[in-house]
Amino acid sequence: MVEVFNKLADYFQNVPAVRYAFIVGILIALCASLLGVTLVLKRFSFIGDGLSHVAFGAMAVAAVVGLTDNMLLIMPVTIICAVLLLATGKNSKIKGDASVAMISVGALAIGYLLMNKFPVSGSGNVAGDVCSTLFGSTSILSLTETDVWVTIILSLIVLVLFVLFYNKIFSVTFDEDFARATGTKAGLYNLIIAIIIAVIIVLAMNVVGSLLISALIIFPALSAMRVFKSFRSVTVCAACVSVFCASTGIIISIIDGTPVGSTIVAVDIAVFVVFWIIGLIKGGVKR
Amino acid sequence: MAQLTCDSVTLGYEGKEILTDLSFSVSQGDYLCIVGENGSGKSTLMKTILGLHSPMKGTITTGDGLKPTEIGYLPQQTLVQRDFPASVREIVISGFQGKCGIRPFYSKEEKRQAAENMKKMRIEDLAKRCYRELSGGQQQRVLLARALCATQKMLLLDEPVAGLDPKVTAEMYSLINELHSEGITIIMISHDIEAAMRYATHVLHIGKDVFFGSKESFKRGMFMDGFSFNKKGGERNG
């Protein structure tokens, strides 16, 4: 055990990539968990998934076009899709579901097609490229200092927006009709929620890859909802769970050499099971 | 001057008209009961009054110092709310959200009023409880307290007693009656014609036969020719 700690401390001091991975991983996990509660409750869990596929497609396009900074293309495309999806999915549930599925599968297919037709890295290892975009693999350990700063700034913006709009997000999530009828600009806040989600997803692609992003968004929220009863406590708990899972996952993956993204998600699943059991026990005692 | 005036309004959605040429008005202190069969357009009418839909024809205007966003609203339970993790206090105070505008947090005064409204609805000891664990009647009182945060003038209640047992139903009606006697205008959508007869001052019946007028004239009409009113029928002697 001591050995492991020494190894970790050593990494931490001497390998900047490990430090970066921790900072970025924790910040992104924190941001992703905050809106999870809203997404789960609004029955929008799949939108996170759909958007991450859009981001994947955009990334493929950016790579093929030869953009030096992928973010410039991925971010706007994902935000536009988020706005479109949340705007259309508002009233007609089935239509919303179908459009999410359509956009997400479409983006995935086109992205893969492009990566195959125009191999980018020159390595000729298309399968490897695709796999690392989809599952994150080791890209979190190859972050540059600029990536870290971009993540820090965007995460701070997301956090500040969330705190400022916390009460509005609550009322729009709990009862959109009531909010609208009593003069809350529900459409505007839905738009803000959509934009924040898009930003988080693009950021999270670096950590867990595009297929696993929704896990980062919904698992902490679902875990917290098993045990806690108020919106505030659920939100705080989800944030803590998410940060805990992300840091544990990164540590395990560094020690064991497992892929970062899937390790974090595995920890998330384990925590969910624990919370689920706690919820059952607590519920049982009460009844 | 009337607080709420519907002037020859035609309602419907997706190009299909379900109610044509409906006119009525509600004044300060009225207790209007909207009755009608399922599918007669009660919910659509309610959503239109709240400004969630716009009418296909005609106008709905507010007056007498009532702003369109000052209509408190007690909705029917939605699916989302059934497993929403929120404390009673959080839900009640969210009634103030519309008044907040861009201000991010609730003021001290709003918190005090929220506590007062909870007391009025006799749910102050539930303040920290989780909404989804409450009984149907308690949940309705929570939503009523929230509606009171949004308005002190007019409440729109959508089937407030649906799914409640007789005892809780009676409690709910007397609570609404209390609010009415404090001077809050009540518009209630209901299946329950008996209750409408007991509490309401005015009745709006929509469907094939449209009637708007005082409770007394509605009763008279009911006894004379059992629910057959002419379209524009009814007088207003409120």
Each residue of A57-75: pLDDT tens digit?
888 888 777 766 677 788 8
Q: Residue B228: is its pLDDT beyond 50?
A: no
Q: For residue B71, what are the contacts with CB-CB under 8 A and spacing of at least 6?
A: A181, A182, B4, B49, B50, B62, B150, B151, B153, B154, B155, B156
Q: Residue B223: is its pLDDT beyond 60?
A: no
User: How distant is the Cα of A282 from the closest Cα of chain B, in angstroms?
Assistant: 13
Considering only alpha carbons, which residue of chain A is nearest residue B150?
Answer: A182
Q: Residue B226: is its pLDDT beyond 70?
A: no
Q: What are the tens digits of pLDDT across the range B182-213?
A: 888 999 988 777 877 888 888 888 877 788 88
Considering only alpha carbons, which residue of chain A is nearest residue B92?
Answer: A171
Q: Residue A276: is its pLDDT beyond 80?
A: yes
Q: Residue A97: is its pLDDT beyond 80?
A: no
pLDDT value of residue B231: 42
The answer to whether residue A41 neighbours chain B at the CB level (below 8 Å) is yes
What is d(CA A45, CA A214) in angstroms, rounded to the nearest whole number? 7
Q: For residue B149, what are the contacts with CB-CB under 8 A and spacing of at least 6?
A: B72, B92, B93, B94, B95, B96, B110, B113, B114, B117
CB < 8 Å to A42, chain B: 80
User: Tokens 């505030």 belong to which residue?
Assistant: A232
Taking residues A142-147, what's their average pLDDT? 78
Taking residues B218-226, what's their average pLDDT? 63
**A36, A85, A96, B52 from A91: Cα distances, Å:** 21, 11, 8, 12
* Token pair recorded at residue A147: 């990536």
Q: How confident is the model at residue B232 (pLDDT cuts 50, 70, 90)?
A: very low
pLDDT: which is higher, A28 or A12: A28
Q: What are the tens digits of pLDDT across the range B44-64?
A: 888 888 888 788 888 888 887
Percent of chain A with pLDDT over 90: 20
Q: Residue A139: is its pLDDT beyond 70?
A: no
**A10, A23, A32, A67, A75 from A145: Cα distances, Å:** 20, 11, 21, 19, 19
User: Which class is domain B4-225?
Assistant: alpha beta
For A124, phi then psi, to 5°, come to 75, 0
CB < 8 Å to A182, chain B: 69-73, 95, 97-99, 150-151
pLDDT value of residue A90: 53
CB < 8 Å to B146, chain A: 178
Chosen from B53, B67, B76, B97 to mutate, greatest number of chain A CBs within 10 A: B97
Taking residues A218-245, what's their average pLDDT? 92
User: What is the value of pTM for the model shown?
Assistant: 0.82
pLDDT value of residue B213: 82
pLDDT value of residue B238: 36
Taking residues A230-259, what's their average pLDDT? 90
Q: B87 and A174 in contact by Cβ < 8 A?
A: no
Interface of A with B in 219-238 (CB under 8 A): 224-225, 228-234
The answer to whether residue B129 neighbours chain A at the CB level (below 8 Å) is yes
Considering only alpha carbons, which residue of chain A is nearest residue B72?
Answer: A182
User: How distant is the Cα of B199 from the closest Cα of chain A, in angstroms?
Assistant: 25
**Range with the poorest average pLDDT among A138-147, A186-195, B167-176:** A138-147
pLDDT value of residue B237: 40
Q: In which domain, by residue range, is A168 found?
A: 2-286
Considering only alpha carbons, which residue of chain A is nearest residue B84?
Answer: A41
Domain count for chain A? 1
Domain-wise residue ranges, chain B: 4-225
Q: B81 and A174 in contact by Cβ < 8 A?
A: yes
Q: How confident is the model at residue A153 (pLDDT cuts 50, 70, 90)?
A: very high
Task: Give the relative orientation of helices A16-41 and A166-174 as an angle to the nearest 10 degrees.
Answer: 40
pLDDT value of residue A233: 93
CB < 8 Å to A175, chain B: 75, 78, 80-81, 94
Q: Residue A269: is its pLDDT beyond 90?
A: yes
The answer to whether residue B84 neighbours chain A at the CB level (below 8 Å) is yes
The answer to whether residue A71 neighbours chain B at the CB level (below 8 Å) is no
The answer to whether residue A67 neighbours chain B at the CB level (below 8 Å) is no
Taking residues A172-196, what's their average pLDDT? 85
pLDDT: which is higher, A157 or B17: A157
What is d(CA B205, CA B213) in angstroms, rounded to the nearest whole number? 9
Q: How confident is the model at residue A266 (pLDDT cuts 50, 70, 90)?
A: very high
Taking residues B28-48, what's their average pLDDT? 85
Q: B87 and A231 in contact by Cβ < 8 A?
A: yes
pLDDT value of residue B55: 83
Q: Residue B86: which of A164, A178, A231 has the nearest Cβ?
A: A231
Percent of chain B with pLDDT over 90: 5
pLDDT value of residue A241: 95
Neighbours of B197 (CB within 10 A): 15
Task: Give the relative orientation of helices B136-150 and B166-181 as an angle to the nearest 10 degrees.
Answer: 20
The answer to whether residue B175 neighbours chain A at the CB level (below 8 Å) is no
CB < 8 Å to B95, chain A: 178, 182
What is d(CA A139, CA A158) in angstroms, rounded to the nearest whole number? 23
Q: Residue B97: which of A37, A171, A234 has the nearest Cβ?
A: A171
Taking residues A2-12, what's their average pLDDT? 79
User: Tokens 């927006």 belong to which residue?
Assistant: A161
Q: How confident is the model at residue A160 (pLDDT cuts 50, 70, 90)?
A: very high
Q: A170 and B71 in contact by Cβ < 8 A?
A: no
CB < 8 Å to B98, chain A: 179, 182-184
Chosen from A41, A182, A275 to mutate, greatest number of chain B CBs within 10 A: A182
**Could you tell me the CATH number of the domain that includes residue A53?**
1.10.3470.10
The answer to whether residue A4 neighbours chain B at the CB level (below 8 Å) is no
Q: What are the tens digits of pLDDT across the range B156-172?
A: 998 888 878 888 888 88
